[in-house]
Every structure is written in structure tokens, then in C-alpha cells.
Amino acid sequence: MSAQPVRDEAAGDDGAAGDEAVRAALRTGLPAAAVLTDPDVTAAYAGDMAGFCPSGTPAAVVLPQTVEQVQHVMRTATALRVPVVPQGARTGLSGGANAGDGAIVLSFVKMDRILEVDPVNRIAVVEPGVVNAALSRAVAARGLFYPPDPSSWETCTIGGNIGTGSGGLCCVKYGVTAEYVLGLDVVLADGRLLTTGRRTAKGVAGYDLTRLFVGSEGSLGAVVGATLALKPAPAPQLALAAEFPSAAAACDAICRIMAGGHVPSLLELMDRTTVRAVNALTKMGLPDTTEALLLAAFDTPDPASDLAALGALCTAAGATEVVPAADGPESELLLAGRRAALPALEAMTGTTMIDDVCVPRSRLGDFLDGVAAIADTYALTIGTCVHAGDGNTHPNVCFDPRDPDETARARESFDAIMALGLELGGTITGEHGVGLLKKEWLAKELGPVGLELQRDIKRVFDPLDLMNPGKLF
Amino acid sequence: MSAQPVRDEAAGDDGAAGDEAVRAALRTGLPAAAVLTDPDVTAAYAGDMAGFCPSGTPAAVVLPQTVEQVQHVMRTATALRVPVVPQGARTGLSGGANAGDGAIVLSFVKMDRILEVDPVNRIAVVEPGVVNAALSRAVAARGLFYPPDPSSWETCTIGGNIGTGSGGLCCVKYGVTAEYVLGLDVVLADGRLLTTGRRTAKGVAGYDLTRLFVGSEGSLGAVVGATLALKPAPAPQLALAAEFPSAAAACDAICRIMAGGHVPSLLELMDRTTVRAVNALTKMGLPDTTEALLLAAFDTPDPASDLAALGALCTAAGATEVVPAADGPESELLLAGRRAALPALEAMTGTTMIDDVCVPRSRLGDFLDGVAAIADTYALTIGTCVHAGDGNTHPNVCFDPRDPDETARARESFDAIMALGLELGGTITGEHGVGLLKKEWLAKELGPVGLELQRDIKRVFDPLDLMNPGKLF
């Protein structure tokens, strides 16, 4: 893990301007209220929710409200050679939105308009600062559905979701953010406006630059508008919980469910540590013999019948109890435990470091065994939640940040978990991104050829390395 | 439309080697049978199915069977500065697989193994020369489904589908090739092997190079392996046909169907000209008053009920007749007319030039009006089939290639159709690609900023411009 480059405050010989010069130049093309420089205020914008990721003191936080204002920011940054850190709601978990000393934070929270919702073409056109939940509700009112639902959906922004390539609980059936981005407006480092993609359902005109921006963590340009695909609103989902005497039995059930052709709208696994933490926090009353809990849901025309078939596979795999919900409220009750998982684990030891390794579904059992061994090795509590249908695991390493030795072990275990993920044919990040947290691991996953090409692509868009520098690579 | 660059046969001062030198160098690392040089044989590999696209005399056609052999070809090409044209089954419709004089044709038809079909992880791992139908059947035997189904599916290859970003009839529900490519093995111009993407359901580790290759028409590297996502096999589909007294009424029905939240597995429109041509060829017995025919299908748990709801929307939009199929064979009968559309149109005047413009669904009525006006202006017969759920239109310009004046008018009308598509907020190509046929139009669609970035990206992967040069840009 490396710190971000620290810029020389006094207009150094690299051509970078001092903070005051940057602020003055920004103000020439922005309303006064759009440029924040009070250190007590800007400090709040310095970083996202990732632990262990350094951040500095930005020169300014800019809150643009128009594309032209963003272009002014980027032209200023290029003229003065100042790094720019695009930012949504700072709910990221990898330090991708952290700002170094002297950087311009480009916050999109005030570009939050939904410009268009079109039921015939099933698209929405939005500004990047729209909150995920606001968009979801607006399109639901028109009988439509914007599926990507990261846990932070009540606060995170669409621009942040695009930057990170966010997922969520619904991905097992509906896929991730990338699959819903049809076209983008992007302000490049030099201030030029690039329009990518399309408003149509299909299109193969040239290289797919739209997709290149999704998950690029603000390192290629600043997304200032997005055309998103929507789906028709599905039927309400009905859920089921299944208790297993071992993680292996639960993973066997997952394999049976997926090989059996089922398409649940949710398929989540909680390991023993998580189940016990949730039990302790919420008094759910799960038996102590439950070593793994599987939650499934369907939003099909006949969810009860689909759940019955899925429940039978759980029983065949050794489930000790299968509890289907009778209706929507009962479903919500079953899923409440999953939603409480992270706070429950945090309540145990002080804080957690959440990992985000995705493995082939068939290797989930091996992965959970490996994580248990890592917890033993480092004498730590690690509770794992899994988006089981995707193989996307979130091992939560619990530790007391006041204990330096435990903190050091937590960081080592975090690395061990990523190594395990790669060994099992997985990826170091399913949906949280690379940011600062995993940049050394990205190099391992990509290998030298892939890494070199990715760096060269960054250079095409941002030759001066001003867009969120020091992230990803 | 510009001709491909013609290479100087006699080792010109651009450093390119003569054909004999190229052949000799290729043979040093390939089995004798893998290098074809007989001009009568290589002529068959010179081009794809596009009209109006020039092709030349390749120096050699290479049929590799291993990744190492492909690497040898690319190293040879780089050493001797010879262009390489990757090729599948040459069913493309834009000249993307056409070879210029002196090029090496890199045909993947002998790398056609299905290496893995994995029902738990719902993936297949294949070589690029696998025929689409062979893969579809192999996975169907395991209860799985590879959706992309271009019309040429019985002969076209997965590598070609990836190069073009192919679609098909099922896209309205299942999307295009791009959505099924998880990871790729690519041999770069200099012979290095690049691995992109993942085997997992999710992943956001770095820029999405996988997606960059899909639709890149062999211009960035040679795809030598692909990991593809699969779906569970759907239920058999049940179809319906609806006759309309005007194209406008049919387009109104399409808008009602999509705004109504329906998700058909097929939604196809044939205009009056196409209906009459099909009637003439197949004796379908459609009434002469039918100005547009809409075909729809569902593969849902209760397709008859879904079809009834869709049929009611057709009636409300003015359909004169709605004919739901009672079973699978009746469905096939209804869909047979759509499958006969292209041969029926070709039978009318000698040949057709098929366009591939995609517009927002809500603009389909305006588009069909515009195409009718273009047909009048240029005194031509143009029959249009539409993947109506996607807004992806295929106007077939009918002309007699022996008539120079009609041929010239056909080409002008083709350009007029693309201009109309862009004017309506569409794209010049929904699923056929750019190749040689549409490169001037690609520049118009992308605009100067997008075009410059696309060219710069090409340069990152292929600095010597050896990979399918002269295509796209």
C-alpha cells in the first residue's frame, strides 16, 4: 500500500501551482459558493470510507452544477498541473475518492438532477450526483427498475457507482452497474467533452469507451452525465432462509441451486461468525448449531413454487431447517439479518476491514475453508458474508484499531485473503474497486502485459496524470 | 468508402517484405498444412459477405491450431511489417474480414474446440473458431443456454461474433454477445499473450479490456480463447403474429408493449415490402392489406397468458388480426416468414444491400416513414425487417447489380438511411459492425474527440498498425 504523491506546496519545479493560485484560478469560472477552501470543511471531503488509506489536505473542494463549470475545473487543473479527484458520496471502500495534498476535489453532489425517464426506451438520463435510491424511487414510480443496489444505496451516487462498477444484492439475477450504462458524457483532463455510447438498446460503433469508464475510478475523466438502461419493475420478491450444519453443506446447496438452473433474485450466505454476531445484536434466535445461513428470494410469477424447489435442494444438501416466508413482510424479516451483518460484526471488536474477493461459485467452499484457516493463523475473528449467487465474498476482518499488533495482523490477513482468492481462480475485487487499498494486488492480478496496457490507456486519456493520480496502479 | 492500402509487393521502402519472404517466415513455425498460398485457395478467404467492399490478394492464409502458432504468426508479421487479418467464418456484412494485397489472413476455423462447459459457474471456455450453433447445442445438452443468435449462427464463429459484437433475434430479452464475454486470451500484434477479465460472475479489477476487444473487429489483437457466460436453458417459446394496417400502428403497438413492461423473448417487425416479398416466395397467404407484421414470443412460465396480454395491446393499437400459436410447431410456422425475409427480398431484384441502423424504439415509426421516403427519392425497393424490441432495423436495399445507375442509387440510399438513423438519435450499426463499409460514418457518429481517442487506443495495442489495418477508422 503506497501513499499518494504529495505535491510541493510552493509551486515546485514540476510546474504545480500553490494552493492559493489554484483557488484563485478556480474562482474565475465558478460561483463563489462552489469553491470550498475552509480546511475544516475540505477535511470532510478528503477521503472515503476505506480504512488504511492515506489522504491529505486538498487545495479546494469544488461543487459544480454545470458541465461548463466542470470543464473550467479541468482546464484550470491542466493549466496549473494540479491533480483532480472526482467524488460522489464518499461511501467507497477502497480509498478511490481519497485526495492528496493540494488536489482539487471535484464533488458531484450538486449535479443531482434526473433529466429524463423514458418508459418506451427504458432509459434514464441523469447527472452523476443523483443518489442511487432517488433514481430507484423515481423510476419505480414509472413502473421501471434500476437494479444495481449497493448497500450504501440510500446515500451513494450514480457517478460513484459508475466509477467503482458497483454491485449489490440483486446482481445474481440482474447484474452490476456496468450492464446498465449505455452512454456517458465525460469531461477529459484537458477540458474537452467526450460523448460515448448510445441511447439505443444495441450498438457496435467503434470501441466500447463507455465500458472503459465504468470501474475506472475517475482516473480517465470526469463523468458528467449518464444514459442508463432500465428494466420493467419485477414482482415483489419472496424469501427463504435455510440453516446448515456446516459451510460446506451450504456451499453444496449453492452449487445444486445454480447447476439446477434456478435464477433467484437474491442468494446470500452468512458464515457462522456472522450468524452469531447477528444473533447477538438482533436476538434473531437462530440455534447455535447453525454453521451457515443461506437466504434466497425469487421475484418470479410463482415465487412460492420456485422457493419450494430451491428449499428441496437445500434439504438434499443437508439443511437442518428451511423456512420459507409466507409474504412480503416475513421476507423482509428474514432478510433483516443479512442487512444487520456489518454493524453486528463491527459491534464485536470495534471495527472491521471489509474485503471483496470474488471466486467461481464452485470454489466457495474452498474459499470459506481458507478464510477460516487464515483467521486461525492470525488469531483473528473474520466473519464472511457472501453474495453467493455471484461467488462475491465479503470477509470482514474484525480488529481493535487501538491494538497495534492486532491491527498489523488484520492487514496481513487481508492480504492473505486476496492471495487465496487469486489462487482459487478469483479476482481481488468483485464490486468495491481497487482505489489505494488494492493497487499492489491489481498488478498481481493483471500481470505485466495487462498492467502495461492499462497504464498506456490511462495515458491516452490523461497524459499529464492529473485524473485521480495514484489510484489503481 | 476507401480502398485498403495496397502494399508494395517488392519489399518496398516501408520495410514490408515480399509475399515469398512472408510465406517462408511463416513456415518456420507452422506445420506445412497450416500455411495456404495457392491463389485459387486463398482467394476464397479474401473477403466476407459484404458488398461494395474491396479486397485484395493475401500473401498467405494461415490456419493455426495452437496459441503458440498464433504467436508465431504475429511475431512474423511484426518482424516483417505485414498486416494481419483475423478471420472467422467470413459471414460478416461490413467487410471487416476483408484482406488487402499481401496481408496474412489468420483464420481461426481450425481452433474450434469447446474446452469446458461448467454448469455451476455457468461458463464455457472455448477456442475462437467454435461455430455458434455447435456451442449452443453443446451447452443445451447440459441444460444451459448461450443466447447470442445471429442469423448466420449455423456457420459463424464465436471469435467472429466477438470481433463484431454480434446480436440476433433473442437480444430483446437476452442482450448481445458483449454481455456474455467474461474474459479473453488475446495474442497482441507483437506476439505477447494478454489475458483479460475473469471466470467469476463479477469483477472490477482495472479497466475493462475484455469489453474493449468485443466489437473491435480484430484491430487490437487476435482473440485465441474466450470465457463465456451462460444462462440456464429457458422454457420453449410460444409465438404470436399480428397484422397491422400501417407501419405506424405496428410501431404504436411496439411502444405500448415496451412501456407496458413486457419482456418478450422475440419481437420482430416486417414492413409491407418484406411481407409481400415473403408472401410471394413462401405462399404464406397474408392478406394484401397487411402493411406491417409483428411477431412476438415469450419463453416465460405461462407464455399463452403473456401473449394474450401482448395481443390485446396490438389490438388496441389497431391490429386487424392477432394470431397466437397453440404450440411449438405453430410458433415455428409463424416465425418461418421472418427467417425467409432476406432470401425473399433478394429474389425480387437480384441482390440486396443490408443496412443495420439502430434507433430508439420510440422513433421506429419516424424511421420507417423516412426509409419509405428514401425509397421514393431514389426510386428503389427497400424492405425493412426490424428487431423491434431493440429498435435495430435492417433496411434491405434491393437492386440489380448489373444496372450501374440503380447500383449507384442503392449506395446513395444506403448513406441516406444512416444519416436518418443518426438524425433520430440512433447509431449507424446495431450489430453488424463498421468494417470497411461504414468507416466514414463511424467518424460522423463518434465526432472528432471520440475518434481521436479510439485511434489512440488502437495505437496502444498495435503501434505498427498491423492488426486488420484500414478497418473501423
Mean pLDDT, residues A233-242 taken together: 97
* pLDDT, tens only, A398-440: 999 999 999 999 999 999 999 999 999 999 999 999 999 999 9
Span A54-109, pLDDT tens digits: 999 999 999 999 999 999 999 999 999 999 999 999 999 999 999 999 999 999 99
Q: How far is B194 from chain A (nearest CA, A)?
A: 6
Q: Where are the beta strands (DSSP E) in B335-419?
A: 351-354, 357-358, 381-387, 392-399
Find, among A65, A106, A110, the residue nearest to A85 by Cα.
A106
pLDDT, position B8: 40
Asked if residues A114 and A130 have their Cβ atoms less than 8 Å apart, the reply is: yes
- Answer whether A169 touches B (CB < 8 Å): no
User: What per-residue confidence (pLDDT) applies to B200?
Assistant: 96
For residues A18 and A290, give the distance between their C-alpha atoms in angstroms, rounded to a whole number.
Answer: 59
pLDDT value of residue B415: 96
- How many residues does the structure list for chain B? 473
Cell digits of residue B155: 456457420
Classified by CATH at the fold level, domain B238-423 comes out as: Vanillyl-alcohol Oxidase; Chain A, domain 3 (3.40.462)
What pLDDT, on the 0 to 100 scale, is given for residue A16?
60
Question: So what CATH class is A114-232?
Answer: alpha beta
Same fold, A114-232 and A238-423: no
pLDDT value for B150:
95
Q: What are the distances in angstroms from CA B135 to CA A363, B129, B222, B225? A: 25, 10, 20, 14
Backbone φ and ψ for A64, nearest 5 degrees, come out as -70, 160
**Span between the terminal Cα atoms of chain B, in Å:** 11
pLDDT at res. B287: 79
| Residue B388 sits at the chain A interface (C-beta within 8 Å) | no
Give the single-character DSSP code of A127. Answer: -
Which pLDDT score, from 0 to 100, does residue A3 have? 37
- For residue B361, list chain A residues with Cβ-Cβ distance below 8 A: 120-121, 201
Element at A39 (helix H, strand E): helix A39-42
Q: How far apart are CA B278 and CA B345, in angstroms?
A: 7
Q: Closest Cα to residue B168, out of B138, B140, B147?
A: B147
Nearest residue of B to residue A258 by CA position? Answer: B120
- What's the pLDDT tens digit per position in A398-409? 999 999 999 999
Q: Cβ contacts (< 8 Å) between A208 and chain B: which residues?
A: 178, 208, 211-212, 214-215
The answer to whether residues B266 and B358 touch, using CB atoms and an 8 Å cutoff, is no
Facing B121 at nearest CB: one of A164, A209, A361: A361
**B450 close contact with A: CB closer than 8 A:** yes
Nearest by CB to residue A164, choosing from B203, B204, B458, is B204
Instruction: Return mean pLDDT, chain A.
Output: 94
Report CB contact under 8 Å: A215, B206: yes
**Residues sharing a CB contact under 8 Å with residue B368, sequence separation 6 or more, in sequence order:** B247, B248, B251, B271, B384, B386, B393
Cell of B33: 498444412
Rounded-to-integer distance, Cα A140 and Cα B120, Å: 33
Q: Does B453 touch chain A (CB under 8 A)?
A: yes
Q: Which DSSP string corresponds to A177-216?
A: GGGGEEEEEEE-TTS-EEEEE-SSS---SSS-HHHHHTTS
Instruction: Give the separation between CA A51 and CA A356, rounded to whole angstroms.
Output: 14
Q: Which residue of A has its CA nearest to B258?
A: A120
* pLDDT score of B209: 98
CA distances (Å), B227 to each of A175, B126, B196, in order? 17, 7, 10
How do residues A9-62 score in pLDDT, each as one tens digit? 444 444 467 999 999 999 999 999 999 999 999 999 999 999 889 999 999 999
**The pLDDT value given to residue B16:** 60
Q: Cβ A233–B261 below 8 Å, yes or no?
A: yes
Please judge whether B392 and A119 are an interchain contact, meaning their C-beta atoms are less than 8 angstroms apart. Answer: no
B457 contacts in chain A (CB < 8 Å): 207, 457, 460
Asked if A198 is an interface residue toward chain B (Cβ–Cβ < 8 A), one would say: yes
| Distance (Å) from the alpha carbon of B175 to chain A's nearest alpha carbon | 8
Instruction: Kindly state the cell numbers that stand for A56.
Output: 491529505
pLDDT of residue B408: 96
Q: Report the alpha-carbon distance of residue B305 to residue B270 in Å, rounded.
A: 24
Chain B within 8 Å of A392 (Cβ-Cβ)? Answer: yes
Task: Report the pLDDT value the prediction gives residue B260, as an integer from 0 to 100.
Answer: 97
Taking alpha carbons only, the member of A134, A223, A218 closest to residue A183 is A223
B74 contacts on A by Cβ (under 8 Å): none
CB under 8 Å to B232, separation ≥6 — which residues? A261, A262, A263, B122, B143, B144, B145
Q: What does the domain layout of chain B look like in residue ranges?
A: 114-232, 238-423
Q: Please give the Cα distance from A217 to A431 (Å, whole number).
A: 12
Our CA-based measurement puts residue B344 at a distance from the nearest CA of chain A, in whole angstroms, of: 26
**Which residue type is seen at B420?**
L
pLDDT < 70: residue spans in chain B: 1-16
Contact (CB<8Å) B206/A199? no
Q: How confident is the model at residue A6 (pLDDT cuts 50, 70, 90)?
A: very low
How distant, in Å, are the alpha carbons of A272, A394, B110 from that of A383? 7, 8, 49
Residues of A in contact with B302 (CB under 8 A): 301
- Show the 3-state SS of A267-310: EEEEEHHHHHHHHHHHCCCCCCCCCEEEEEEECCCCHHHHHHHH
ipTM, two decimals: 0.95
Mutation target to probe the A interface, by most A beta carbons within 10 A, among B123, B144, B202 is B202
Cβ–Cβ contact A208 with B under 8 A:
yes
Residues of B in contact with A150 (CB under 8 A): none
SS3 content of chain A, % helix, strand, coil (to 5): 40, 20, 40
Would you call B201 and A392 a contact, using CB atoms and an 8 Å cutoff?
yes
pLDDT for B342 equals 87
A115-151 pLDDT, tens per residue?
999 999 999 999 999 999 999 999 999 999 999 999 9
User: Cα distance from A316 to chain B (closest Cα, Å)?
Assistant: 16
Q: What pLDDT is recorded for position B91?
A: 96
C-alpha to C-alpha distance for B311 and B319, rounded to whole angstroms: 9
Q: What sign results for the dihedral spanned by CA atoms A167, A170, A175, A178? A: negative
Distance from CA of B304 to the nearest CA of A (A): 14
CB atoms within 10 A of CB B407: 17
Cell numbers at residue A357, please?
A: 474477493
CA-to-CA distance for A181 and A229, rounded, in angstroms?
A: 6
Q: Is the CA virtual torsion A311, A314, A315, A316 positive or negative?
A: positive
Q: How far apart are CA A469 and CA A5, in angstroms?
A: 8
**Distance, CA of A398 to CA of A236 (rounded, Å):** 35
Taking only residues 242 to 261 of chain A, the set having a beta carbon closer than 8 angstroms to any beta carbon of chain B reads 255, 258-259, 261
